Amino acid sequence: MTLDLFLQHLSNGISLGSLYALIAIGYTMVYGILRLINFAHGDIFMMATYFAFFGIATFQIPWFITFPLVLVLTAALGMGVEAVAYRPLRDAPKISLLISAIGASFFLENLTIVLFGGVPKPFPAPKLFTDVVQVGTVAIQKLTFYIPVVTILALLGLGYLINRTKTGMAMRAVSMDYETAQVMGININRTIAFTFGLGSLLAAVGGIMWGMKFPQIQPLMGVIPGLKCFIAAVIGGIGNIAGAVIGGFILGIGEIMLVAFLPNLTGYRDAFAFVLLILILMSKPTGILGEKTAEKV
Amino acid sequence: MLKIEDLVVAYGGIEALKGISLEVEEGQIVTLVGANGAGKSTTLRTVIGLVKPVRGRVLFKGLNLLEEKTHHMARHQITLVPEGRRIFPKLTVLENLKIGAFSRRDEKGIKADLEWVFSLFPVLQERSWQLAGTLSGGEQQMLAVGRALMSRPRLLMMDEPSLGLAPLLVKEIFRIIQEINRQGVTILLIEQNANAALRIADRGYVLETGRIVLEGTGRELLANPQVKAAYLGKRKGL
């Protein structure tokens, strides 16, 4: 393999990893605050691509208005799912919440099929992003560069929000102790809703770029990326945001490199994530950045 | 200031409080003593809204607290130092203190109170950038008290602040409770260490399996033979 080709694969892997990272954060944040695997997260990601499709293709709204609109709508959708499927179960056993999550996932998938049809639709990516540039001897889509840049900006924003703002501090406090957080004056319902909104917004950022990179959307497109990003979150240590990012990149780059170096295994591309999951669960079940839960009391 | 009337609380059909009434006057230190399971923690948790009672009334300066959400209590300047400290282990010491002032908007006042808390507990200032989970048990207790003070409470409820601390630290905590009280904070204190608590209390209530069996000034209760026998480790007749 030539260096050029390797770099092309690497840049591909980094942009796929970026997308995984953006979606994985939603899983890990919700897990951190609710101890829940939000199975509907992959479907929220799918809905974001439909929102973008309708904005650009159906209503002919320019992309720079559509994309922010998609972020807002998807965040609202995430908050809606939380309010309908999870909030009423706040004091219920965790297993009820999990089943509700699976229900929410199926509901969103089937709702999309009923409303928009099961036939795949072409994602209307603006030409600005899909243009190809020549780097040395290789041709690379501009998008491949934009994706990591947008991801890094989103991550910086997220880091600032979580570590430097009062709302972020409230999110961290609620994820540790509901009761005490309330005593401190934190409205936990509002904080949890905000967390869902934020995770869904990042999934929308990922969804829009996913749609441009793999420009065909359909109602079940969220299932496999959703599972993989959940795996990414587990690999990184679920509940840990930096872990989700690392897990996302490991998965994205690993998957592309597997196909690049071992073309015979192309058919097993999706299995890669699951094999990695099994390996991690056997060697370090808490994930790369996960910690043991025991704390001094 | 705080008036509890005929409070009944049940957990799944079992009554933890069987109709207690008590009163805390402004500026006082009032203590609830009693064995495990007597209903002391339940009383505090009901006042702050974490537990919903079957019946009864809880009034704070005429305000019906049973209709208030827990996260609004800080705004009414009521706070709780929970049992087992419950500091936020993965927040820094400084963040733990700031979160105590979550409901407040007066930046200047918050800063002044932070100085006050640091003057009460200098060790917290030294360790302000450390994760709270890395503090020793005694330091965590100080942090829990400091965090509660950051809400600038008028009523500070404390659930066993001396539990698990070395005797010297227990003394220190009780000294600080008195100091806080002198600054105008009314205190409702739960203690297993009945001796120390009654010594500093203006008023005390003795709880037994969900009922108040004795009440009086701290001094009266200290001298009471029943209390001595049950809680102060002195056998009858000695």
In a domain, A106, yes or no: yes
Q: Give the total number of structural domains in chain A.
A: 1
To probe the interface with B, which of A184, A190, A240, A292 has the most B CB atoms within 10 Å?
A184
CB-based contact, B235 to chain A, within 8 Å: no
Q: With left for phi above 0 and alpha for psi between -120 and 50, is residue B209 left, alpha or beta? A: left
Q: What is the pTM of this model?
A: 0.92
User: Which of B82, B103, B133 is closest, CB to CB, to A180?
Assistant: B82
Q: Which domain holds residue A129?
A: 3-283
In a domain, A115, yes or no: yes
Which helix (H) or strand (E) segment holds residue B39: the answer is: none
In a domain, A58, yes or no: yes
In a domain, A95, yes or no: yes
Binary contact (B102, A166; C-beta < 8 A): yes
> How many whole angstroms separate alpha carbon A8 and alpha carbon A260?
10
Tens digits of pLDDT across chain B (238 residues)? 999 999 999 998 899 999 999 999 999 999 999 888 899 999 999 999 999 999 999 999 999 999 999 999 999 999 999 999 999 999 999 999 999 999 999 999 999 999 999 999 999 999 999 999 999 999 999 999 999 999 999 999 999 998 888 888 899 999 999 999 999 999 999 988 888 899 999 999 999 999 999 999 999 999 998 888 877 765 444 4
CB-based contact, A91 to chain B, within 8 Å: no
pLDDT digits (tens, 9 = 90+) for A12-24: 999 999 999 999 9
CATH architecture of B1-68+155-164+188-238: 3-Layer(aba) Sandwich (3.40)
Q: What is the pLDDT of residue B237?
A: 45
Would you say B83 and B89 are in contact if contact means Cβ atoms under 8 Å apart? no
Would you say B57 and B20 are in contact if contact means Cβ atoms under 8 Å apart? no
Q: What is the CATH number of the domain that holds A42?
A: 1.10.3470
In a domain, A266, yes or no: yes
Binary contact (A187, B147; C-beta < 8 A): no
Mean pLDDT of A103-114: 97
Q: Look at residue B95 and give its three-state secondary structure.
A: helix
In a domain, A296, yes or no: no
Measured in degrees and rounded to the nearest 5, phi and psi for residue A109 equal -60, -45
Q: For A56-65, A253-262, B121-130, B223-232, which range has the lowest pLDDT when averaged over its residues?
A: B223-232
Residue A4: pLDDT band (50, 70, 90) is confident
User: Which of B50, B74, B89 is closest, CB to CB, to A185?
Assistant: B74
Domain ranges of chain B: 1-68+155-164+188-238
In a domain, A288, yes or no: no
Residue A103: pLDDT band (50, 70, 90) is very high
